[in-house]
Amino acid sequence: MAAEQMPNLAAKLSTRVAETIMRQCREDGFHPYPLERWAYVPGMLLMSMARAGLQLNEGRYFDFMRQHMDYYIAEDGTIGTYTLEEYNLDQINQGKNLFMLLARNGDARYAKAADTLAAQLIGQPRTSEGGFWHKKIYPFQMWLDGLYMASPFLAEYAKTFDRPELMDEVAHQLLLVERRTRDKRTGLLYHGWDESREQDWADSLTGLSANFWSRAMGWYAMAVVDCLEHFPVAHPKRGTIVGIFERMCHALIRVQDSDSGLWCQVLDQGNRKGNYLEASGSIMFVYAMAKGLRLGYLSGGFRDGMLKGWQGIRERLVTEDADGVHLHRICNGAGLSKDRNGTFDYYISEAVVSDHYMGIGPLLLCSLEVERYLEQSPS
Q: Which residues are catalytic?
A: 145
Residue 198: closest CA among 263, 260, 127? 127
d(CA 28, CA 8): 25
d(CA 147, CA 141): 12
Cβ(92)–Cβ(141) below 8 Å: no
SS3 category, 225? helix
Cβ(209)–Cβ(336) below 8 Å: yes
- CA 79 remoteness from chain centre: 22
330-331 and 324-327 strand pairing: unpaired
SS3 category, 377? coil
Cβ(44)–Cβ(360) below 8 Å: no
How many residues in the chain?
A: 379
Residue 93: closest CA among 154, 14, 20, 5? 154
- CA 25 remoteness from chain centre: 23
DSSP character string of 244-297: HHHHHHHHHHHTS-TTTS--BSBTT-TTSTT--B-HHHHHHHHHHHHHHHHTTS
Cβ(312)–Cβ(261) below 8 Å: yes
In terms of DSSP H, where are the helices of the chain? 13-23, 40-56, 59-72, 97-105, 108-122, 144-160, 164-181, 214-228, 238-254, 279-294, 303-312, 344-349, 357-376
